[in-house]
Amino acid sequence: MVTKANETTANVPHRLALWLASSIMGLHEDAKEALIFALMIGHQRMGAALDKCLSKLEGDSPRSPSVLRGQLRVIANALRLKDDFEACVLRLADLYEVATVFPSGNAVDNIYDWFAFVTYGDLLDADKLLTILGYFEQCLTERFMPTYLDPGGSLDRLAFLITKSLDDGDLPELMDLEPRPLAVELRERGIPLFSSVESPIKIISKLLLNYLKMTIKFPHGDL
């Protein structure tokens, strides 16, 4: 992905762009029910959001991705207060389709089928930004690939991380639920652990950060 700031063009790896852009993007009402498994954020909206916030960034000194992300988030919140946030709002038209039907079968039913019901609206953080999605996308970016549901594949990694964030006593109860109520329970018990960007001590956040460090090589250092 290519973005521009201060007349300087930079090539940004797709997963890094998603991780940065998600923390500065709000969600329009028309996209709240969009299904995560079926739709991905298009490059144009990511680029527009990054260009908008990068243009307000002071200085051009190197900084780590985590520092940059925090600075961009401050800028995004300031733009929202000034009612100058439109470039950072994700609409349904900004999403592109990667799947039409969630897979089924012995390797899916009662294992991954809950994920068919997770929406973009479910992944908003306490500030109504898509920060949580940025973490999820580190596992799910390859969900349009045939290996999506393979052991160790993107959905397997996400399910493992969410499951590890839950208390052992919760698991027997959750495993007896049908897919739709299970999605609701996981959303209420697991996903909100992301809700505060300033609380990295949460178990699932640490797991995901460790996963990111092991699997992604960022140009300016670790997260």
pLDDT band at 96 (very low <50, low <70, confident <90, very high): very high
- Which has more pLDDT, 66 or 34? 34
Q: CA nearest 2: which of 31, 59, 44? A: 44
Mean per-residue pLDDT for 6-19? 75
**Reduced to 3 states, what is the DSSP secondary structure of residue 62?**
coil
Q: Give me 219's structure tokens.
A: 């140009």
Average pLDDT in the 63-84 region? 91
The Cα-based distances of 66 to 8, 123, 177 in angstroms read 21, 20, 37
pLDDT at site 205: 44
**Identity of residue 10:** A
Region 11-20: mean pLDDT is 83
- Cβ atoms of 68 and 20 within 8 Å: the answer is yes
In sequence order, what E strands does 51-208 have?
A: 89-90, 95-97
* Closest CA relative to residue 44, chosen from 97, 99, 98, 87: 87
**The amino acid at 197:** V
Contact 220, 64 (CB under 8 A): yes
Pairing relationship of beta strands 26-27 and 39-41 according to DSSP bridges: unpaired
Cα–Cα distances in angstroms (integers) from residue 40 to residues 137, 196, 201, in the given order? 9, 23, 29
* Residue 221 or 176, more confident: 176
Question: Confidence class of residue 195 from pLDDT cuts 50, 70 and 90?
Answer: very low
Residue 194 has pLDDT above 60, yes or no: no
Q: Which residue has the higher pLDDT, 191 or 124?
A: 124
Torsional class of 139: left (φ above 0), alpha (ψ -120 to 50), beta (otherwise): alpha
What CA–CA distance (Å, rounded) separates 24 from 80?
10
**Residue 103 or residue 187, greater confidence:** 103
